[in-house]
Copies of this chain bind each other. A is one copy, B any other.
Amino acid sequence: MEIPFNDIKQKFQGCGLKTTPQRTAIYDALLRSTTHPTAEELFAEVAPQFPMMSLNTVYYTLGALRTSGLIHEVNIGHTRARFDANLSPHHHLICLGCQSIVDVIDPRLNRLTSPAGIPKDFEITSYQVAFRGLCGSCRRHTGRSINHSSPGLHPTTVKGGLHGKSS
């Protein structure tokens, strides 16, 4: 545990959440993780410390943390929810082969202008860029053929990689 227990306790108190061992362990695991784990993955990570713990508790806890704004839910495929305790502005790089997610931290992406042509009364509170493609490992293993059951969105045509400074 690199994250001081008292920091976590304070965050929980600040949100009116009780500090239980299970909750602390789940949140701590999520803070230390960089893989945007699913509820099940977090359960597997934490369960050894709490042989009695139920997956239900993980769902309940993630729901509480999400409602409190301590974590975010990241939806990549539609099949399962993934979670992220990193609240600082960042975007995601998703491998269509292995479904892995890597954080993208590039300040330039945080300065997008409000898009044209949207309803005037729509209030944008956040935005996020999802980059999709194949990681090195998947490109080597599959010879670039994308083998997965998932979407494979191609919303924008990227010719030979992203290009051009905007404006």
Residue in B73, B109, B110, B116 whose beta carbon sits within 8 Å of that of A106 in the complex: B116
For residue A134, which residue of chain B has the nearest CB?
A: B123
| Cα of A145 to Cα of B142 in the assembled complex, Å | 46
- The count of identical subunits is 2
Given the complex, which residues of B lie within 8 Å of A125, measured CB to CB? 96, 132-134, 154, 158
| Residue from A72, A95, A158 with most neighbouring chain B CB atoms (10 Å) | A158
Q: Residues of A at under 8 Å CB distance from B?
A: 66, 69, 72-81, 87, 89-91, 93, 95-96, 102, 104-106, 108-136, 139, 144, 150-158, 161-167
Given the complex, which residues of B lie within 8 Å of A80, measured CB to CB? 78
| Cα of A81 to Cα of B150 in the assembled complex, Å | 10
For residue A103, which residue of chain B has the nearest CB?
A: B117
Are A166 and B93 closer than 8 Å at their CB atoms?
Answer: no
| Cα of A104 to Cα of B124 in the assembled complex, Å | 12
| Cα of A155 to Cα of B79 in the assembled complex, Å | 21
CB distance from A163 to the nearest CB of B (A): 7
